[in-house]
Structure 1
Amino acid sequence: MAETTLTAAPLRSPLAPAADRFAAATRTSGGAIRLAELPFLTQLNVRLDAKGAAAEAVGLALDLQLPLQPNTVVRAGELTALWLGPDEWLLVAPPGSAADLESRVREAAGDELVSVIDVSAQRTTLLVTGPSARDLLAHGCALDLHPRAFGAGRCAQTTLGRTQVVLVARGEPRAGFWVLVRSSFAGYLAEWLLDAATEYV
């Protein structure tokens, strides 16, 4: 009987084919726009009672208080928590940390009701930075992206170029934005961004 060995295929991000074009757009814009993919970030969807004991316990276990204000972001080290709803958060962390994070959340919640789902493979993350990043995103987003309305520490579920995304304003103006997009729409959104960026080349 023939012996078969199964080997895992190497991970390939949804936007790997666009990497060279992102780099070219960054060069030709003279740094006005920088586009890049942040592949394979850990993304955990967490649902629990924000007013229950589990919320505080989970915050302590993660060394990060879950944000309770709508559309806000809390960061601690390499971990970021996004408010998605009154009882829903998205934890974003470095690649490969899903199992550890999930274990910490479940252990901290104890007997309290909690849902923890690894959605890392569902989305990829685009980084959009540069002095013209806000203007670029404003071409396809109905949100008011002025720093007074959507400054550092803000997030929103919205549409960009008719694609559903989670948009995150990073910690400082030069840090730009994260655009979390479903993997199946990532190619379309990359094309839209590259086309919109031609204004800055």
Structure 2
Amino acid sequence: MTFTTTVETLPTMGRYNLRCKRENTVALSKSLGFDLPSSIGEAARSGTQSALKLGPDEWLLTCPMEERATIRQSLTDVYPEAVHSLTDISSREISIRVSGDQAEELLSTSCPRNLAKLSTGCGVRTIFDSVQVVLMREGDRQFRLDVWRSFAPHVLGLLAVACAEFESGL
């Protein structure tokens, strides 16, 4: 079998950590222009902006870098009506895309989750080896790992070793 999986570092993206009470999600959703997901692991997207629900009161918002000010301003405007915490974490993490026929198997070398059960368009906070990551399934054979910048060399190194093993048939 030919190894056809690729690992690539993605361009920098805007990221926000959003925290709020459930009763404020309607106003925040209206301000963002799309509904914040209501179930942990569920994602929502509108154009180039997305939201992933990571916990009972926590979302990861992503967008192109040039759209960060738009998100920040729209949520600042609604703050008196819907109290929340919005933290820009854009410089904290990088994104790594793993795609191809063996993407799921490659990630499984260091991720304990059953990735076959992760639906397309959903994401989870998990670990990769010993590193906390946010893992999104973007397609049947495509995943995105968001990892803290300081741990990226470790994660990329593990992925390189796993790729070499797959390529050699080990």
Give the C-alpha shift of residue 199 in structure 1: 2.6
**Matches for 1:154-173 after TM superposition, within 5 Å:** 154-170=122-138, 172-173=139-140
The answer to whether structure 1 residue 64 and structure 2 residue 64 are counterparts is: no
The answer to whether structure 1 residue 39 and structure 2 residue 11 are counterparts is: yes
Which protein has the larger Cα radius of gyration, Structure 1 or Structure 2?
Answer: 1
Task: Give the AA of the match of 2:94.
Answer: T
User: In angstroms, what is the RMSD of aligned CA positions?
Assistant: 1.6
Percent identity among equivalent residues? 28
SS at match of 1:97: helix
- Does the CA-based 8 Å contact 2:18-2:61 persist in structure 1? yes
4+ runs deviating over 6 angstroms: none
Where does structure 2 lack aligned partners over 5 or more consecutive residues? Answer: none
Q: 1: CA distance between counterparts of 2:163 and 2:132?
A: 19
Q: When the two structures are aligned, how many residues end up with a matched partner?
A: 167
- Does the CA-based 8 Å contact 2:27-2:81 persist in structure 1? no
The answer to whether structure 1 residue 108 and structure 2 residue 78 are counterparts is: yes
Give the C-alpha shift of residue 153 in structure 1: 2.0
Match of 1:95 among 28, 42, 65: 65
Q: 2: CA distance between counterparts of 1:197 and 1:95?
A: 30
Task: Give the AA of the match of 1:153.
Answer: G
The answer to whether structure 1 residue 134 and structure 2 residue 104 are counterparts is: yes
Alignment correspondent of 1:181: 147
Give the C-alpha shift of residue 30 in structure 1: 6.0
Give the C-alpha shift of residue 73 in structure 1: 1.1
- Does the CA-based 8 Å contact 1:33-1:200 persist in structure 2? no
- Does the CA-based 8 Å contact 1:33-1:130 persist in structure 2? yes
SS at match of 2:121: coil
Q: Give me the TM-score of the superposition, normalised by structure 2.
A: 0.92
Q: Which has the higher strand share?
A: 2
Q: 1: CA distance between counterparts of 2:120 and 2:69?
A: 29
Give the C-alpha shift of residue 61 in structure 1: 2.1
SS at match of 2:65: coil
Provide, for residues 29-74 of structure 1, a one-character-per-residue CA deviation record: whole Å limited to 9, x for no partner: 9662111111310000111112x1x311221222221111111111
Q: 1: CA distance between counterparts of 2:95 and 2:64?
A: 12
